[in-house]
Amino acid sequence: MAVREIEPIDLALDRLELMAESGYYNPYTMFDWPEAIEPDKPWMSESLTTLAGTPMWDELTREQQLALTRYEAINFFSLNIHGIRELLSEVVMRIHDRTYAGVSEFLHHFIGEENEHMWFFAQFCLRYGGKLYPAQPSLRADSVEHLSAVARELIVFARILIFEEIVDHYNAHMATDMGLPVIAREINRVHHQDESRHVAFGRMIFVNLLEQVAKRDPDEVPLVAEYLESYLTYSIGTLYNPAAYRDAGIPDALALRRRALEHPARLAAHEQILKRTRKFLSKVGVGRELVKR
């Protein structure tokens, strides 16, 4: 990490720091963990499952549909855990470097909150699902090794931002879905509450680093846009876990994954999931319109 080549990051974060301090809660005592979850309730909003809107969903028995919501909830929370672990490792390496001295105070809040998120996601998975799904293979890092240090730094924070925005799309919906168990709603609500600050911070640091890239080498901007488009596609793909299909008792999991990913209803759903993120990326100048077809 050649941060010495990066200009110091100085952002106005007083409001976000105040919100973090005034909204502090103790996650270890705030949740009421039931012994079991009602068997007739979905754990994830049915409209957010990876088969929603397709004939494949209608072909499932009701038992399989409910099972899929359970295992896709475990997959979703597992993705959160693995994503948090990755972002924490990146942020911890930077928190006391002079490049990030101006945002170090907020990063301390960020690390504390993300560690707590990882804890309550794991609690849900282990208490009610009995497991976490393993981390999925990452997008190859060598695809950005040819970029400058500041462009690679931008991509680190872009990955964090994209991860958080996709997760927040799901959290915001499930936080108010009265058909879900109370504990599932509460976990999504609390995470959404914190992620609103994290997304705001992520966008600010993204813009700062993107401006540095554009100033140093404008030709790198389309290359960053190309990587981010690949990362958006990769991130959506992680939601489609064949292990979750198998655990739900659905046969031909790999073939089902391929069919689902290509179905027009799911492609339209992906656009909705990524709508806010794509709008932001286009606004700041690294949207998919820059990517060569």
Q: pLDDT tens-digit profile of 230-260?
A: 999 999 999 999 999 999 999 999 999 999 9
Global pTM? 0.94
Residue 206, pLDDT score: 97
Q: Which fold has domain 10-20+56-290?
A: Ribonucleotide Reductase, subunit A (1.10.620)
Low-confidence ranges of the chain (pLDDT < 50): 1-3
Residue 227, pLDDT score: 94
Residue 88, pLDDT score: 94
Residue 23, pLDDT score: 79
- pLDDT tens by residue, 189-199: 999 988 889 99
The first and second tokens of residue 240, run together, are 């489609």
The first and second tokens of residue 237, run together, are 């793909």
* Domain extent listing, the chain: 10-20+56-290
Cβ-based neighbours of 159, under 8 Å, separated by 6 or more: 86, 87, 231
DSSP-derived letter for residue 125 is I
Confirm if 5 and 150 have CB atoms less than 8 A apart. yes
Residue 1, pLDDT score: 45
For residue 293, give the amino acid letter.
Answer: R
d(CA 175, CA 172): 5
Confirm if 238 and 86 have CB atoms less than 8 A apart. no
Our CA dihedral for 212, 215, 216, 220, rounded to 10 degrees, sits at: 90
Residue 140, pLDDT score: 67
Confirm if 266 and 55 have CB atoms less than 8 A apart. no
Residue 145, pLDDT score: 83
